[in-house]
Amino acid sequence: MIETVTDETFESRVLRAPGPVLVDFTATWCPPCRMIKPVLAELAVELAGRLEIVALDVDDSPKAAAAAGVMGMPTLSLYVDGQVVTQVVGARPKAAVRAAVEQFLPVDNSVAAAR
């Protein structure tokens, strides 16, 4: 499940998170944002334990979006140790989003052990 973060929870849930967090900067009026939601839901399941995915509505939480420099939606920003390490702007296929974030995620030990 993809949780929602707000201006009030952004620092604790994203900037001080113990692991990588992909933030979906989104808006209810944005058609590409709606298109990418199922992609992010699938990735949340596939990358569980390695990546947390959260959503932030830019209209409801403009301070966090402005501080992140978000200019268009959807913007997917991957935070590691409180810093943006990569960003994807616009709706993209699942493979493209996964490829953008995979190199920054911890190794999946279950896959490594199977080799």
Q: What is the mean pLDDT of each run of 10 residues along the chain (115 residues)?
A: 96 97 97 97 96 98 96 96 96 96 85 45
pTM here? 0.92
Helices (H), the chain: 10, 31-46, 62-67, 94-102, 109-114
Is the bond preceding 74 in cis, omega lying within 30 degrees of 0? yes
pLDDT value at residue 112: 45
pLDDT value at residue 34: 96
Q: Which residues are catalytic?
A: 30, 33
